[in-house]
Amino acid sequence: MVYSVIGTGAIGGYYGGRLANAGNEVHFLLHRDYEHVVRNGLQVDSVSGSFHLDDVLAHKSPDSMPKSDVVLVCLKTVNNALLGELLPPLLKEDTLVLLIQNGIGVEADVQAMFPGVSLAAGLAFICCAKNEPGHVNHQCFGSINIGNYSCPDQSRVDALLADFVAAGIDAHLVSYDEARWRKSVWNMPFNGMTVVMQAQTDALLANPSMRALIKEQMLEVIHAARHLGVTGIDDGFADSMIEMTLAMTPYSPSMKLDYEFHRPMEIDYLYSRPISIAREAGFEMPKLSMLEAQLRFLEEKNL
């Protein structure tokens, strides 16, 4: 299959790089480090095995990219308005678009932009960063859950999963709603709390009060999901996420990095949408609603 990556940052560089390193045809849309990658290739330093791509199929514009079987969208959701220009040149009748993005409600909005396009959700559990041109640093974890949102042919999603697994990626098929809410159990507490408290994950969990608050926030997400009819996520998942995070390298999630670099934060899909969806169904998320308000205040001062 022919793959294209929109948003070759840490996530797009890692998963796209793994696919390319395994021999797949992968085209990368780059912006600021296009010239660097053309000259020097793409370096992925990874706990799962480092590698270097010498001849990267790098593009500065989607107009030079081929029609693709699969498009990996790895943009921050604050930039999704750009998809109206970036995605159409890559689409053919049976293209599958995998949205490896944070939050709840992403697919519904992209589907409204592209009514006939097949979409799937990619929920990455990974610690990685791209702090230098053409250089991805994968620190720990790396699995990805894939949920079919609107692809009528499940075999196309299965083929995508098979390519991920063959490339050495720990990939799993899960139901769409479970995938999105399961990732939010980690994302909603840690992204916002690392910004508000100006602390990495390890420091938050080392403090008993913060650890208790984060667990309460996780349970709000789990109970909201359950209220919405999502199965497969029980209360014990909160403890599992906390234990997983304790085993992680001390980490600054993407929202904390965005705040530090004075970039817009993904508040809409990470907080406003899930809180609104839960409220419409009769379930309130008071602790996470307070966190959303704090993030809105900080962003207004920071931009």
> Residues with catalytic annotation?
183
- Which candidate, 100, 255, 126, 270, places its Cα nearest to that of 185? 270
Contact 150, 111 (CB under 8 A): yes
List Cβ neighbours of 142 (8 Å cut-off, separation of 6 or more).
14, 46, 47, 48, 124, 125, 126, 128, 169, 170
- Listed in sequence order, the DSSP H helices in the chain are 10-21, 34-40, 83-86, 106-113, 154-166, 176-196, 201-206, 208-227, 236-246, 254-260, 267, 273-280, 286-302
- Provide the 10 A C-beta neighbour count for residue 84: 10
| Phi-psi region at 71: left, alpha or beta (left = phi > 0; alpha = psi -120 to 50) | beta
Query: How many whole angstroms separate alpha carbon 170 and alpha carbon 281?
Result: 34
Q: Is 58 exposed, middle or buried (0-12, 13-18, 19+ CB in 10 A)?
A: buried
